[in-house]
Structure formats: C-alpha cells, structure tokens
C-alpha cells in the first residue's frame, strides 16, 4: 500500500526537475516572461475590481452607497479600467508570444541539430514517425505551455487568492460557508490529475502508434499494393484506432466524473449561499450590493477552481512530453555542428587497413556480422568485395564510413586509427555510390552538388557528363533545374545511380566506395557508366562491391566474403583458376556462356 502511495509522488518530482531543465530554453527570454507575468497580474487585478463595482452600482441604485459614489463616477472608472485592461492584455499576449515562439524555435533547432548528428543506429532503434511527432507535437505542447497554459494557470491562482482574500475581508460569515466546499474540490483535483496524467500519456503513445501504421503503409504504398495488402493494413489501422478510442473514452470518463463532482459541489454551494445571503440582507446584516459583489466573486473563484484542474493536467501532460524531448537532447551526437564552414581539411594518401575487425549491429548485438576481417588497400589501389548476399560487404564499408563503432579490432587510414580523425573532415575524403540511392526533393543540380554546394554550373555539367547522366538530364525540359522527389519527377533506378555517380565525381574524393554502383543499369548503360567509373577510380583508393564479377576482373585484389569471414583473396587470375574455390565457382556460374 505504501509503495503505491510513494510512486506517483516520485514521478512528479522527477518530472518537475525535468521541466526545470527545459527552462534553459526560455531563460534568454526571461525578461519578456517576467514582463508578461507582471502584466498578467495587473490585468487579473483589474478584473477583480468589476464585481466590486457591480455591487457598488446595486447599492447606488438602492440608495445604500457607503462611499458616496454615483453612476457618473462609476462610468468613468469603468472607462479607465477598460482602456488599461485592453492595453495590458495586448502586451501580455505579445510578451508571452516572444517567449514561447523564440524559446520553442530554439528547442526545435536544438532537437534537429541533435537528430541530424545522432549516429545511424539511433535511427534503427527509433522510428522516424515517432521522432517527427516529438519535434512537432511535443514541442507544440511546450509552446502552448509557455504562451497560454502557464499564464492561465497563474492567473487562475491569482484570482483565487485575491478573490478569497477579499470575500473573507468583506463578508467573513458568508465566506466560511463557501470555504467548506473547498477541500473537496482540491482533493478531487489531485486525484483527477493522477489518473489523467497516466491515461493521457498512454493515449499519446497510442496515437503515435496509429500514425506509425499510416506512415509505414503510405511510405511503402507500392509494396502494400504489390502484395494486395490494403485490407491487412486497414485492419491493422482499425485495431490501433479502436485501442486509441478505448483509452480516450477512459480518459473522458474520468474527466466527466470530475465535471460532475465539481458541478454538484458548486451548484449546491451556490444555492445554499444565495439562500443564506438573502436572509442576511433581509435582517439587515448585509446590503444587496455586498451580496451581489460576493456572489460575483464566488462565481469567479468557482470558475478558476474549475479550470485549474484542466490547466494542471495540461501542464503535467506537457511535462510528460518533455521527457521524450530530453531523451533526444541528452543522447550524445557523433559530432558538434559548427556553422563556420572552415573544418580543417585533412590531407591523406588513402591507404586503408582493417585489422581483425569484429562487429555486430547494435540492434542485434547477439548476431556477429563480421568475424575477424583483415584487409588492406594501398594508396590508389582498387579492391573488390564479393560474396553472397548478407555476407557483410556493405557492413564493411559502413564501418569504414564510421557509421558504427567496432566491437574490436582497428581500421586505419594512412596507418592512423580512423577514430582519431575529425569525423566531418574524415567523411569528406570519402565518396560513396550506395546500393540504394536516396535523392532529396529539389533540383537535379542540387542533388549532384550535394557534397559540394558551391560547385559551378560548369563543374556540375562535366560531372554529369562523366557519369553518363548528361544525356537524360538534358532531355528533361528543365534540364539541371528539373525537380525530383515528392514534388517533382521520378527517376528510374539507373538514372538515380548515375546522379549518385555524378555526385561522387564532383566530390573528387581520395577514397571511393562503389556499393553495387551499376546494379540498376542495363548492360549498355553499364558499359558507359563503367567507363566513367574507371576514369573516376584512377589515382583513387577504391573499394568496389559487385555481384557481377565482369566489372571487377582488373582490380588489384579481390576479397571473397562468406558469412563474415574472408575466405579467399587474390587477383581475378589467382582466384579464377583455383579448383573448388569460392570465387572460381562463382565465376564459372557467371561467365558461362558470357565469353568474358
Ligand atoms: N542495420 C542493420 N541492423 C542489423 N543487422 C543488419 C543491418 N544491416 C545489415 N544487417 C545484417 O548484417 C548482415 C550483413 O549485411 P550486409 O548488408 O553487410 O550484407 P551484404 O554483403 O552487403 O549483402 P548484399 O549483397 O545483399 O548487399 C546481414 O545478415 C544483415 O541481416
Ligand atoms: Mg550490401
């Protein structure tokens, strides 16, 4: 029993300290926030004058005014109050907007900077849709907190305190009656908060789940259709939605219970106070104006109590959201982003060595993928990696790109551990034409110059020509300005690959990695692109992954991979003649009837 009591308390404290950490994002704008709070207090105070004025008017009308006021002076006071109130409210909103808009822009930028510098395996463990919702809706909630929720919460507390203080001063006896119902509401609000906090977190998670289904199926819409899986996906989505509805309705149930509770207590209290108050007026212990003022204050106090619960839970659910934001912000990135572009370029020769490299992917740490890889490429040499699908070829180049950390062993560049180089500078000496080319939404030109944003048009054109891409590009009406991606045209696999090759050519790297770079080309284009690649590879250290052995016959060294081991190495000539060799049997299969 005790444990149960303790738990939520701990959680709240932890969440509070988390929220405290997020405050660093609004700290630069704290003067706006403080200014906003001051204006908020002024406007709340002004609002609290209205009930009093109402009471005064009733007393003037019934000839009971204690302060000698008349309707004309009341009208003047009202006019002044309105003007001041208007001005104060205007600047209050502006001030809070400064804090929330600028502060949250900082949060978003920080999040994005973190996300983009996080290591690849982070994205294998977290789905993009979920990360997107953090950067959009969780931050939105936080923004709401600083622009509205927090201010409203404080305003309600202010109204509550001032209202109660006034009525106790003005009508002590009647106030006692009112304050009896108070503890009920507070206790109720606390219980409500606990329930709703849990439920609304769960609801948020469920909502993210449903979005993931939509995102995955729409992203892979071709696959869905190819397998005629529309019904399956629809049912999957439907199930998630039903779960969401169930949780949302549970949430609604507790809200409903709370409203009912508030209404009963509140209206019961109001009726009783009316009855009691009119009796006091009847026997002359109170003026009618005082009763009217009291009742209006009471309405204010009741209203603020009612909304406090809502704001309270909103604040708590926002704090829940910051937990997910902090998770990202506190993960270590691979590098620090610096906006000044002068990263020290490193001057390397380009000899590479893998020494006894062992590796398993962080997401599947129980499954060794590379089991003691040794290989070396001298400056300007070409090596090829061949082997069955899944044998670890792409993994080797990903490790060379420093996308993952080794379990053991070492990879060197010019004899120096690659970990010792500045990551950005290190990656900039390598170009990769990957197995699956991803182009960004934008023009062809922007995509080619992705690794060298300041390249001239001429350089871009030459790169495209060398990659044998110029011909198809110039056939588009807009040429290099043709938009590709979601809002533009769609390129074929071979066209994408040639753009990627042009990108690599333009980069002029020391080290070139080709992961099945010609796999999506027909044999004629392949020949042309192969020629381009041969030119490109000259004088550069190159690692070529190829299924078609015809493209690698003249490399300096071929490594045959099997299941994470290198089982054979040598030149095409060495390996092709071996009896029962892994390479020779592959070669036999491929070259049969090809006469290469
Ligand atoms: N991101 C990843 N997370 C977990 N396991 C992975 C990941 N990428 C690859 N693997 C696993 O590592 C092994 C080697 O994969 P790799 O991509 O290196 O093979 P490959 O030789 O390039 O194959 P292919 O010729 O089909 O491209 C495979 O068993 C694969 O399932
Ligand atoms: Mg591969």
Give the pLDDT band of residue 82 (cuts 50, 70, 90). very high
Tell which atom from ligand 1 comes closest to the C-alpha of 516.
27
Give the pLDDT band of residue 184 (cuts 50, 70, 90). low
pLDDT given at position 512: 92
Q: What are phi and psi of 285, to 5 degrees?
A: -85, 0
CA dist., res. 560 & res. 396, Å (int): 12
Smallest CA separation from ligand 1 atom 29, residue: 390
121 lines ligand 1 (CB under 6 A): no
Say whether pLDDT at 132 is over 70: yes
Say whether pLDDT at 574 is over 70: yes
Comparison of pLDDT for 440 and 458, the residue scoring more: 458
Give the pLDDT band of residue 328 (cuts 50, 70, 90). confident
Comparison of pLDDT for 1 and 75, the residue scoring more: 75
Average pLDDT, the chain: 85
Identify the weakest region by mean pLDDT among 189-203, 439-453, 471-485.
189-203
51 lines ligand 1 (CB under 6 A): no
Say how many Å lie between the CA of residue 308 and the centre of ligand 1. 54
CA dist., res. 154 & res. 270, Å (int): 25
Mean pLDDT of 530-536: 79
361 lines ligand 1 (CB under 6 A): yes
Give tens-digit pLDDT for 534-545: 878 888 999 999
pLDDT given at position 5: 32
CA dist., res. 163 & res. 301, Å (int): 6
pLDDT given at position 339: 65
pLDDT given at position 257: 82
Say how many Å lie between the CA of residue 396 and the centre of ligand 1. 10
pLDDT given at position 182: 62
Percent of the chain with pLDDT over 70: 93
Say whether pLDDT at 596 is over 50: no
Domains of the chain: 14-199+253-329 (1.20.1560.10), 342-429+550-596 (3.40.50.300)
Contact between 365 and 406 (Cβ < 8 Å): no
pLDDT given at position 342: 63
76 lines ligand 1 (CB under 6 A): no
Say how many Å lie between the CA of residue 398 and the centre of ligand 2. 10
| Closest alpha carbon to 165 in 308, 306, 311, 48 | 48
State pTM to two decimals: 0.72
Say how many Å lie between the CA of residue 435 and the centre of ligand 2. 6
Contact between 167 and 175 (Cβ < 8 Å): yes
436 lines ligand 1 (CB under 6 A): no
Say how many Å lie between the CA of residue 544 and the centre of ligand 1. 16
Which tokens in the block code for residue 35? 């200014």
Which tokens in the block code for residue 226? 């190819």
Say how many Å lie between the CA of residue 551 and the centre of ligand 2. 16
Give tens-digit pLDDT for 340-379: 556 677 888 999 999 999 999 988 889 999 999 999 999 9
In which element (H, E) is residue 226 found?
helix 221-226
Give tens-digit pLDDT for 230-250: 999 999 999 999 999 998 998
3-state secondary structure of 571: coil
369 lines ligand 1 (CB under 6 A): yes
515 lines ligand 1 (CB under 6 A): no
């Amino acid at each position: 029993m005790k444990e149960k009591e303790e738990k939520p308390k701990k959680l709240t404290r932890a969440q509070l300290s988390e929220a405290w950490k997020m405050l660093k994002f609004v700290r630069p704008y704290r003067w706006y926030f403080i200014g906003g709070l001051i204006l908020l207090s002024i406007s709340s105070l002004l609002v609290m004058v209205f009930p009093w004025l109402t009471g005064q008017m009733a007393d003037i009308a019934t000839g009971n005014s204690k302060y000698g006021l008349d309707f004309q002076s009341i009208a003047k006071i009202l006019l002044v109050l309105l003007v001041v109130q208007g001005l104060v409210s205007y600047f209050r909103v502006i001030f809070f907007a400064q804090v929330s808009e600028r502060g949250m822009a900082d949060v978003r930028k920080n999040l994005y900077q973190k996300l983009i510098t996080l290591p690849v395996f982070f994205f294998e463990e977290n789905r993009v849709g979920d990360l997107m919702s953090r950067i959009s809706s969780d931050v939105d909630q936080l923004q709401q907190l600083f622009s509205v929720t927090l201010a409203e919460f404080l305003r309600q507390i202010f109204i509550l305190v001032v209202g109660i203080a006034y009525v106790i001063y003005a009508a002590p006896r009647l106030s006692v009656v009112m304050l009896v119902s108070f503890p009920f509401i507070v206790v109720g609000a606390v219980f409500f908060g606990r329930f709703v906090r849990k439920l609304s977190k769960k609801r948020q998670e469920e909502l993210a789940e449903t979005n993931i289904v939509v995102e995955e199926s729409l992203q892979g819409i071709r696959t869905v259709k190819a397998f005629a899986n529309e019904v399956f996906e629809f049912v999957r989505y439907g199930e998630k939605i039903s779960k969401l509805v169930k949780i949302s309705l549970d949430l609604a149930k507790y809200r409903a219970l709370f409203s009912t509770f508030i209404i009963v207590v509140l209206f019961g209290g109001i009726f009783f106070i009316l009855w009691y108050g009119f009796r006091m007026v009847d026997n002359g212990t109170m003026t009618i104006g005082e009763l009217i003022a009291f009742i209006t204050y009471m309405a204010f106090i009741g209203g603020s109590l009612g909304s406090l619960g809502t704001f309270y839970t909103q604040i708590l659910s926002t704090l829940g959201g910051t937990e997910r934001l902090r998770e990202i912000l506190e993960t270590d990135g691979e590098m620090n982003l610096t906006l000044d572009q002068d990263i020290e370029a490193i001057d390397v020769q380009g000899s590479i060595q893998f020494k006894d490299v062992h590796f398993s992917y962080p997401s599947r740490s129980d499954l060794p993928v590379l089991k003691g890889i040794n290989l070396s490429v001298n400056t300007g040499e070409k090596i090829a990696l061949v082997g069955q699908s899944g044998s670890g070829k792409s993994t080797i180049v990903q490790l060379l790109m420093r996308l993952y950390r080794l379990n053991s062993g070492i990879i060197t560049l010019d004899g120096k551990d690659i970990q010792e180089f500045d990551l950005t500078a290190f990656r900039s000496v390598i170009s990769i034409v990957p197995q699956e080319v991803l182009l960004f939404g934008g023009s062809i030109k922007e995509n080619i110059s992705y690794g060298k944003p300041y390249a001239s048009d001429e350089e871009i054109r030459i790169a495209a020509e060398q990659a044998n891409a110029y011909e198809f590009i110039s056939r588009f009406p807009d040429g290099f300005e043709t938009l590709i991606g979601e809002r533009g045209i769609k390129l074929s696999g071979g066209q994408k690959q040639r753009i990627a090759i042009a990108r690599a050519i333009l980069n002029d790297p020391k080290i070139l990695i080709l992961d099945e770079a010609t796999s999506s080309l027909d044999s004629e284009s392949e020949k042309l692109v192969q020629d381009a690649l041969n030119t490109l590879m000259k004088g550069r250290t190159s690692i070529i992954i190829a299924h078609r052995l015809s493209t690698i016959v003249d490399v300096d060294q071929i490594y045959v991979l099997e299941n994470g081991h290198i089982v054979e190495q040598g030149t095409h000539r060495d390996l092709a003649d071996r009896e029962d060799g892994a390479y020779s049997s592959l070669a036999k299969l491929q070259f049969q009837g090809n006469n290469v």
